[in-house]
Amino acid sequence: MPTTERPQRAVHGRPFVVAIDGPAGAGKSTVARGVARALGFAHLDTGAMYRALTAKALDAGIDPSDGPALTSLAEHTKIEFGPDGLIVDGHPVGREARAPRVSRAVSAVSAHQGVRRELVRHQREILATGDVVAEGRDIGTVVAPDAPVKVFLTASIDERARRRHREMAEGGQDVSLPSLTEEIARRDAHDSSRPVSPLVPAPDAVQLDTSNQTPREVVDKVIALVRERREGR
């Protein structure tokens, strides 16, 4: 499944970055894809980088708590951003990156400073190449703190769990809703309290609760923000 598209060269000066952050199940991917499609921007799912690295680490038998080994793995992982999306070690990021075993470990893997340093470097290189809608957990605070548009999406834990459960069921993964709700709550607590790049809104981010809004409504609001900022540049 493609997780990125090649950025288009900015035609109005420096690249325009739309930063979309938020916890799991808040609607980041759906909204980011919709905004990118409507504006003709590239779409970068930074979470896919961490998931791909986590899958690679698990396959190599590296413990998610082993920071030095994971940092070395990140430093020796080839990450490319081509016409077909994000390519890691020559392979497109696929469904394996969304497997339950990866979901359980990715938060621990991504908490290591060395891992984040290396992947953030890749992300910034991509954002410098053209207009991009980037989604993640620290785009507006760490990766692109100067992004002209920063959005932080939220939703209730129950709603986010229902969305993720539906998404996983459609992908053929059998996970109970209660266990998924617990997993999301644990990940929220871990991500928001970690010392390196915690999951928090940027001070100037526009916060949108997506619990009772359709994806189209949220996409339209973000597009309106982009147009407002671009007109004011």
Domain limits at 52?
17-231
pLDDT for the residue 2: 39
| pLDDT tens-place string over residues 107-162 | 999 999 999 999 999 999 999 999 999 999 999 999 999 999 999 999 999 999 99
Question: What's the pTM?
Answer: 0.88
Q: Does the CA dihedral 133-148-207-53 come out positive or negative? A: positive
- Return the pLDDT at 95: 82
In a domain, 123, yes or no: yes
Residue 9 domain-assigned? no
Q: Identify whether 143 is part of a domain.
A: yes
Q: Is 131 inside any structural domain?
A: yes
Q: What percent of the chain has pLDDT over 70?
A: 93
pLDDT at 67 over 50: yes
Q: Say if 1 falls within a structural domain.
A: no
CATH number for the domain that contains residue 96 = 3.40.50.300
pLDDT, residue 3, reads 45
Predicted confidence at residue 219, as pLDDT, reads: 98
Angle formed by the axes of helices 215-231 and 28-39, nearest 10°: 50
Q: Where are the beta strands (DSSP E) in 78-145?
A: 79-82, 85-88, 91-92, 132-136
For the chain, how many structural domains are there in total?
1
Q: How many CA atoms lie within 13 A of 192 on its CB side?
A: 11
SS3 156: coil
Give the CA distances from residue 215 to residues 22, 29, 38, 166, in Å, rounded to whole numbers and listed in that order.
Answer: 15, 10, 13, 15
Residue 200 in any domain: the answer is: yes
Reported as a single tens digit per residue, the pLDDT across 220-232 is 999 999 999 988 7
Give me the pLDDT at residue 83, please.
66
Give CA–CA dist 204/162, Å, rounded: 29
Range with the lowest mean pLDDT among 5-9, 62-66, 70-74?
5-9
pLDDT digits (tens, 9 = 90+) for 179-229: 999 989 998 998 888 888 889 999 999 999 999 999 999 999 999 999 999
pLDDT at 81: 83
pLDDT of residue 11: 45
Q: Which helix (H) or strand (E) holds 45?
A: strand 42-45
The verdict on residue 7 lying in a domain is: no
Please identify which residue in the block is written with the tokens 């129950």: 158
What are the pLDDT digits (tens) for 8-47?
Answer: 544 456 899 999 999 989 999 999 999 999 999 999 999 9
Helix or strand or coil: residue 23? coil
Q: Report if residue 103 sits inside a domain.
A: yes
User: Residue 7: pLDDT above 60?
Assistant: no
Q: Are 137 and 191 in contact (CB under 8 A)?
A: yes
